[in-house]
Each structure stands twice: as C-alpha cells, then as structure tokens.
Chain A
Amino acid sequence: MKKYSISILATVIAVLITAYFFVILKGWSGSAEINYDYDSEVTTIPTEDTAFGDLFERHYVNDSLPYYIFRRMQDSIDRIKFEKNKGYVASGDGIFIGTVGFEKNLNNDKIGFRPEENDPVMKKMKDTMDNLSSYFPGTSKEEVDKGLNYQRELVVRYNERRNELKEQYKATAEKDYWLSLKGYKTAENTKFFIHNNKYYLAVVQWDSVKNRGDNTSKYGHYVRKEISILYSAEDQKVKIPISKEKYNLLKGFLNVIIFVILFVIVYVYIGLPIQLLLNISRGRPFSRQNNRAFKIMTVTLITLALLYITEPYFMHLLYKRLIPAELWLEPLWPRIYSKLYLFLIAGVIFIIGKAFKRGYRLQQEEDLTV
C-alpha cells in the first residue's frame, strides 16, 4: 500500500504553489474590476499640438467605412507620422544581446538623400525615359515594341544605378552611433519627438480634474521636455548617442561576450550531455565527471536566467542619469515569470544531478568494499 502513497512533502509544495497561483489569478480578476471602474474616468488628451507640427494630432477616420478602407487610411496616417520621425525611430544596423545593443544609422541630415537629383547619369536616363517618343517616333508594332523594351531596360538600369549610389552613400556618409536599451515603456499620452535635431518628450500637464459623481474629467495641455536620448515607442527602446570610437570598442566587446556566451551554451547544453550519454553507454553512469556535468548545467542555467532578468535593470542603473522618469522599464515579476521555465528546468537537472551524486557515492562505497 505504501508503494502507492503520495509524498507528503511533494503534496505540501504542490498545495502551496497552487494556492500562490490561485491568489495571483484572483488578483488579476480583481485588477480587471478596477479597470472596469476606471472606464468611468473620462480622460481628455489634448489634441491641440500645433507646437509639435501636428505630430500627435488624432486624425479622425470615419470608422463606419468598410474595414479595409478604414485600415488603409489609418495606415497612411501612421506612415506620415513615421516619416516625420524617420531614421531615428527606425532600427539601424546593429548587434543586440538580450535588451542591450549597439546600432548605427545615417545621420539625420543625410537621411533624405536622393541620388537622382544629383547624379548626371541618372538625370540623363530620366530625360531619355521622359522623351522616349522622340527616340522611337515610328508607329509600327515593331517600333513600338522596340521602344517599350528599351524603356523596360532603362528602368532596370535606372533602379540599379540608384541602389548602387545609395549603397555607396550609405557606406561613406556620416552616421550616428547609439547604445540601445530595449524594454522601455511610456504612458500613452507621452510622446517622443525631434525638433531641430534636439530630442523632446511631449508630456501632458493636467490643468484641471473635475469629479462628477463616478466620472472624472481631466483637462490638460502638452509641455515639451528636452531629453538627451532618443526613444522609439514602436520598438520600446531608448537610444543613447555615443561616439564612433566608443561604438566600435563596445561593439567589439559585445561580440566577444556573444562568442563566449555562445561557446558556453554549446559546451554546456550540447557538449556535456553528449559526454554524459557516452559515459552512461560505456557503463560509467556514476562518475565524478558526470556529477560535475550536472552541477555545471544547473549553475549555468540559473546564471543565464538571472543575467537575462537583471540585465536591463543593471543597464538602467548605469544610465539612470540620462533616462527620464517618463520612460520606465517593465516590472521585474513579469520578466521573472517569462523565464520561470528556465528555473524549473534547472530544478529538474539539479534533482537528477543529486540522484547521480548519490549513485556516485554508492559506487565509491561499492568499489572500496572488499
């Protein structure tokens, strides 16, 4: 009968963890109720933002339109907004590890580069295309086909030339270098914008709050706050300007770290398990080497999980001086929950390792028993 009895310790742990998650779930439904109450609050975000070049203006799109037309109009408005901030919010070439990365993109002044406006070859090609009829005046089918083929060929060459010049320009033009930190959020009514190559946050300042029964109405206006970093709400990242030398140095350093981490991961989670399986198949399951392998796997997994979790907070501490309070990192708990499975796997490996350690001791005893 005892064979089928449930472990008391495992039961106690299961009950405690279930209770914990139950409380969390109850908490979530509780917060949903709070949100419901919050619905009664009327928040009037200021629409008058001419000071920011209509960047945040809420364009009215008739939502009774067929969905695809509505979506198209909405997208084109979003594109216009994006264009106004182009280059800066768009990701550049870069390298990331976790939430930290280094990026470079064309300097703001150089973004609107149009090779067709300056290149004489392209100008000539365009002239030819515009006046194609004067080069192929004939009206016969053969002449028309010849003209069309020539036009097609010219378009291809024209595009190739433009891409070639753009690539050349990209390679030589002045660039901006950034240290990028991901995972930053901001309030919906706080906006980032650029004006005269300076970075600003538009923050709502509430002028009045009126309570009418259950309803609360807020009225306010935007104020600008100059900051020294760039923020991309789309990618939820802040970009801190750094010098080219610093960029090259730190990127090199990051490359080394990536290589080391990759090596460690491959060694620990591919090399060691293979070695372990070989030892077991050779009839040496309980050896010092296998014990060591389990220990390394557990410690590495926990270290990597902790590094992943703490990395953004550590970087935030380093650059706290530059990052305004309006931009905040996601809370710690969701980050821990997202990597909870790593801790669970580490726990399982630890338990298996303990069993192997015990086996190793028994093996030693057996070897030294005459």
Chain B
Amino acid sequence: MPRSKRFATLANQDINQDTFIHEWPEMGLIAMDSPLDPEPSLRLDAGRVVEMDGRSREQFDLIDQFIADYALGLSRAEEAMAMDSLAMARMLVDINASRADIISLLDGCTPAKLVEVVGHLNVVEMMMALQKVRARQTPANQAHVTNWQEHPALLAADAAEAAWRGFAEEETTVRVARNAPLNALAILVGSQTGRGGVLTQCAVEEAVSLRLAIKGLTSYAETLSVYGVAQAFVDGDDTPWSKAFLASAYASRGVKIRFTSGTGSEVLMGHAGNKSMLYLEARCLMMVKGAGSQGVQNGSISCIALPESLPGGVRAVLAENLIAAVLGLEVASGNDAMASHSDIRKTAKLMLQFLPGTDFITSGYSSIPKEDNLFGGGNFDAEDFDDWLVVQRDMKVDGGMRPVQEKDVARVRRRAACALQTVYEEFDFPPISDAEVEAATIAHSSADMPERDVVSDLAAADRFMADPQTVLDVICALDRRGFEDIAARILEMQRQRITGDYLQTSAIFDSDFHVLSALNDPNTYQGPGSGYRLSPKRWQELSDLPQAKLPQTLVPDQPRDGELQLAELAPARPSTEAEVVIALGPAFGTTLHQTLGKLPHKAVLRELMAGIEEEGLTPRVVKIYHTADCAAIGHAGAQLSGSGIAIGLQSKGTTVIHRRDLAPLNNLELFSQSPNLSLASYRAIGRNAARYAKNEPVTPVPVKIDNMVRLRLIVHTTLMHFKETLEIESGAPPIELKVRFQ
C-alpha cells in the first residue's frame, strides 16, 4: 500500500521526534504502579522500625535504614499505616483538611504507602492537592543564567534582567569547571543590581560549591543530588550520611540548601532494580526529609524525557512533586530541562505545576537563549518570556514573572555590567572593556558578545578561588567605586546569612529583604476565597503587558477621503428600474473611510459600481442608518432595488449580495472576511450582482481563504464595527445618495 499522506505528515510532527516506549517493569521502565513495587507495611518494636515496605531491618539497605531512623514520624506511623489509602487521598483534595493536618498524618507513611495514596488521584486532584499543600503561599520562580562563552559581562547583565523580571532565585553553572568562582561572582553582582534579595547559586561539584558559599559568592545550593537506590547513591559519590552532613555544613555557614532528586535517575544509572520510578522517588524524598533539607528540586529534572517516554509519565512527575509537598518540603518543581520537541506537550505538562502554583514553578527557567544554556538546554527559554507572561494574564495566575519595559531592562543590564567591570578592575582581573559593557547591555546571546581571552580569565578564576578574597572584598570594591546601592544589597545578603531566617522552609526575599517562607507566609489554602490570590496591585502588574494597546487608539480616526463625496438626498423609495442597489453601512464614507483590509471606501465603491455598469445596469447607492448588520443592510437595500438585487456593504468591507425575497439572514453570496477581498473582488461582486439582476447564470466570486485573518484582526474588527454602530439612528429610513468621485 502506498504511504498515507496523512500518516507521513503526522510522522514529521514535532511530537513524533519524541521517543515513546511501552512499560518494562522488570527493568524499572515504568512510571508508577508497578506490579513489582512493594506493598506498604510497617512494624515497630519498642519504638524502632523492624520492618518497612516488606523488608525486615536485617534486609535494610542504606536508604531504608536512613528513612526508618530519620524520616518516618513514628508517633503517628501506626495510625497512618492502618488508615485506608483512599481515605487519605480524599483528605488531600478535601478543602476541610488543612495542609498541617495532612502533613502531620502523612509524616507516618512509608514510601510505598505514600505512592499508594497519591496513586488514587487523577491529575486534576493532584493539582488541587498541590495547591493546598505546597509550603509557601506566594508562588515563585527560579531562573537559569549561563552563556556558552561564560562571558562575565553577559552573565551579569542576564542576571540583572532575570532579577528585574521577577525571578526569586538564579542558578548558574560552568562550561569549564574552573570558571565557577567568576560565574558565581557575575550573577551575584548582576542579580543584586536587578533586584535586591534574589538568591543565587552555582551548580558545581559538591565541595567546590560549598567553598563558593563559604566565600560568600553564593547564597544557596541546590544540586545536592540523591537517589532512591543505594547503588545509585554511591555512584553519585555520596551516602545519606555524607549528604546530610553536607546539608548541615551549609547551614553552619548560614546558607540555604535544597536537595535534588527526580523520577528516572535510578533507571538511567542502571540501578532501578525492578521498581517503579515513583516508588524510588518516594524513597529519595523521605531520605531528603530525613536529612533535614528544607526542600527539594524534583520533577524528574534532567531525566524528564525518560518518564515522558512512558504511559502516565507526566502524571508520575506531578505525583512526585505532590509527595515532596506532603512531606513538608519546599518544592522547586522541575520544568527546567527540555521535556519534548513539541511545544504543545511542553506547555501541557507545565500547566500541572503552573496552575496550582509551587514554591518554584520551574527549578530553572532558562532566562537565556537555548544555545547559551549550559544545563543542557531549557524547556522554556528567553524567547518564551512573552508566552509565559501572556499565559499568566490569560489565566490570572502568578507564574513568578512580571512584564517589563525594554528601557528598564537596558538600564539594569548596563549597570550590572558596569558594576562587574569595576570589580574586575579592582581585583585586577582581565579587564571588561566599555565595548563589552555596551554589547552586554543589548545582547540576546553569546553570539552578540566580543570574545574574551579564555586563558587569562581561567587564570584569574584560579587565583580568585585560591586567594583569601571573599564577598567582603567585592562589597568594598563596589562601595569604593560608586556602586554603594549594589554593595549594600550584597552586604544585606551576608547579614541574612548571620540571621538565618532564610534557612527555614521555602524561604525567599522580597525586594526589601523581607523573608517569605512557610513560617511567615504559610499556605492557608482551604478552598475558594482562601490561599494565594493575586492582589489588585499584582494583577494590574501582570495584566499590563507592554505590547497591550489601548482599544481607544487601536483603530485611529481615519482621515476624511476628500475625493469621495456622498451627498444625501431624500429618503430612498422602492423603484422598478433596471438597477442594483448598493446599500452602505451608516459610517461608510463619513466617519470611516477604509475597509478592515485598508482599501479606501472610494475605490471599493467605484469598483462595485463599475462592475454593475459593465453588465449594463445602473448602480443606485443608498445609505442605511437603522442597522450596522451586513445582512440587514443588504436586505434593506434589496427591498428598494428595482431588480430586487442589492449589495450590502459595511464600512469594514464585509459584503453581501442579497435578493428581495430571501430571508434576512439568507443571501446569494456572502463575503464575511473583508481583508481577503481585493478591489478586483469588489468589481466581480458588482458584476455578479448585476447578472443575478438579469437572471443570468452566475459563478460565485472566488475568494482566497486566509484562516488567520479572523485571529489577526478580530480586535480591529470589533473596534471598527463599534464605530459603525455609533452611527446607527434607529428608525431612520434609508437615504438616497448622490456619489461623486473627484
């Protein structure tokens, strides 16, 4: 059989660049609900867990032991494990059950029990639960800021822009590992230029990352990766104990951390055993809680395409966000790594976190172009900023970003690049030239930046890492050289490290350095009227897109066309002449002078008349005042026409050929999308109308079809039609017109 053209077209769609596989539970290639996952179980003996999810303590691996001894809340464990999972699932969506009730009860659940509970929920229910159980009431978002060149001025400028756009956290990383301290410095200076209080991090090897934090160059760390299988954990060069110690080490320096986990990582590393991705993730999350991390970045993260290859994979990823939230953890909910070739699929997946809101809707929105993303490409990039803002506005949802003006962005970008230029000068790093500052101010990507001497930059990075210089020297340099405000903000970040308030669950800062966390901004959602609602001020801010226009000015007043004179005579009467009536809308040639397709009324009218005359009939022009509706205009004209045929013409150009005996909403030919009409079309319409009048056979006027017209012009149509309706005089008769073209 020859290939179906339909199927060949489908095969070439973006969606079919994605890979899809069937489940293979024995290999762990199953998103959730594997028949091989353990049944929930828990046995306690003298206040100690002796069996969990079908394994006795003697059979415990590292992770079982850590979960049993640190994560499980034993005080309510027996109650929770005895409770029906379905009843618990219903609590999750019951507006009468508060976040605190749920967290306190589910504290006693084993990993298998948690998986069983969320397994009862469909995605809408999971979203309802996430809306209620996420830690911080005010949702936020995190940005990724990197560039392929690792250009410091561009990093600073992009960090400033991301901060200005509203991101509460910014994460950078490295292409060349040695660049870590300079990249961290660039986004620190840049972010605090854009907005005080933005938290920053640099994702590098654990020990290096801790060093950067100790130097004061970062204010949080996130990439403390954990796994749900002991062997994967060890391959990641850590154990639950080393990771927990690392968490304490950061906190001892006043630095916020969150762990990283996600479905699919274990099977990707070859260690899933035969367990589902979600079950292994539930183990990760309990380990995270046990280690005392305030939060987690999860939602499959860099493995996202793997669960998405499987049935129910996207649901499982939402389920893992939800499990993290019911464990009381801050959740930075993925949507960072590229999840699909299909924009439809990416957006559909995003909605699962975007609509309910999470602590950080993405754990890294790529605020730079895809080619500059050193995290392996972002799911949403700088090119998608406006899409995100429009969706927020469409749904009245706060996705953590705000509309911005180009001039403001340019201002903060230039200032950030200048500030970093100064620090480089004071630190005797390879200079950032004025030309680089200017390029960074208006750059979109690395490609817009002059190249730097990479060898010298790396040597400076090595020196900076080895030298005793700290953030204090950065503050001094900025302060000395006229950037007191940025110096003060960076200092305030250090003061916050001494205060420790942002070590609490789900903490961010507003631009006045007020901490917002699960403690002082707790999620109080319990149904309509509760929880996070956009304040009038925030809604105004999110509504006010720079590209939105005032409707009053979108269709400007059109200049009068002096060459067309329409002299009003007496009220029009029915006639018996061999004529075709052209019935004009009330604003035609008076307050409006062009069609929607920008054809002058004069030319349109001339073509219609010429077409009628070509067929040997007389055009008779009348003005209709009692209606602005195209069919009604045409119908009214037909009642006057000696031949019974009339052309109804609205000011926006919409045209109908009508006949006296037809019902008002019926017609001979209707041209509803006037931007598709040319002057030649109008002449053909005139000809056809005359041929109907002569009872001759007629071929309907062919019109090109452009289905985007309505989408593109519906607002203009509405506004033009509004002007026409303003000219309606109810009860006024049609008026005979004398037409003169000058």
**A and B associate:** no
Which A residues form the contact surface with B (CB < 8 A)? none
